[in-house]
Amino acid sequence: MSLRYALLALLRVGPLSGYDLQKQFQVSVGHLWHAPDSQIYPELRKMENDGLVVGEDQTRGERGTRRVYHLTDEGEQDYVRWMESPLSYARVREPANLKAAYLEAASPDAARAFLHEHIRHWSGEVEQWEAELARIDARANPMLMRRLESIDQRDHDRTVAFKRFGYEGLVDRARSEIDWAERGLALIDELYGPENGTAGHA
């Protein structure tokens, strides 16, 4: 339901082909809202039907074609309307916490493996997002730079600051997941005694 607004956020920077959009998506806004290309192409067609974008067919070489999408006024308005209106929050559905709440049903080894994997998973996410924060600070994000070129100098700070802010929230969340899992490992040691020597963990 947010996919369309993630795509509009990119197209507000300038026209992009489906392919380029999809590629840029993966390395930018896809960090905030994941979508595979098999979902992006059909969504662009739907957005065209809804008048939010127009697709322009271009030739490529002899017989190749590609479709470049342009934001329409209606698309811009729809985007701003989304930005101005309240978010609807999804109900909680957290498999990791569900599992954690009944961890007495797992062996101590499996419980430890689960928490180590949780830490590994969220550490990987932190790495991704901090790399993105570094690119923002270094002005090394191509879509952000194109966006900055197209807007008033005085709005640069805000654009950069909010982008930072969005990613910082994800980093905070991931760190909180890691802290929690580490407390869980300590809890397991308390409840079952410390991990015994030979059997290494994942």
Partner DNA sequence: ATATGCATGTAATCCGTTACATGATTTT
Partner DNA sequence: AAAATCATGTAACGGATTACATGCATAT
Q: Give me the residues that bind a copy of itself (CB under 8 A), please.
A: 1-2, 5-6, 9, 12, 29, 31-34, 79-80, 82-87, 89-107, 110, 113-114, 117-118, 121, 125, 155, 157-159, 161-163, 165-170, 172-173, 175-177, 179-180, 183-184, 187, 191
Q: Which of positions 82-121 make contact with DNA (CB under 7 A)?
A: 88, 90-91, 93
Closest distance of CB 122 from a copy of itself, Å: 9
Closest distance of CB 98 from a copy of itself, Å: 4
> Which partner in DNA, a copy of itself, none is near 167 (CB below 5 to 8 A by kind)?
a copy of itself
- As a whole number of angstroms, the distance between CA 50 and CA 155 comes to 30
Q: Which of positions 39-78 make contact with DNA (CB under 7 A)?
A: 39, 41-42, 44-45, 60-67
- As a whole number of angstroms, the distance between CA 51 and CA 73 comes to 9
By CB under 7 A, residue 3 contacts DNA: yes
> Which partner in a copy of itself, DNA, none is near 38 (CB below 5 to 8 A by kind)?
DNA
* Closest-CA residue to 184 (of 106, 73, 126, 129): 106
Beta carbon nearer to a copy of itself, 41 or 82: 82
Beta carbon nearer to DNA, 78 or 188: 78
For 99-124, letters b (16+ CB in 10 Å) and e give ebeebeeeebeebbebbbebbeebee
Write the single-letter amino acid at 138.
Answer: A
Closest distance of CB 155 from a copy of itself, Å: 6
Q: Cα-Cα-Cα-Cα dihedral of 9, 11, 14, 18, to 10°?
A: 140
**Beta carbons within 8 Å of 150's beta carbon, 6+ residues apart:** 13, 14
By CB under 7 A, residue 157 contacts DNA: no
- As a whole number of angstroms, the distance between CA 21 and CA 25 comes to 6
What length does the chain have? 202
- As a whole number of angstroms, the distance between CA 96 and CA 178 comes to 12
By CB under 7 A, residue 81 contacts DNA: no
Kind of pairing between the strands at 64-71 and 53-60: antiparallel
Please give the residue ranges that form the binding site for DNA (CB under 7 A): 1-3, 17-20, 22-23, 34-39, 41-42, 44-45, 60-67, 88, 90-91, 93
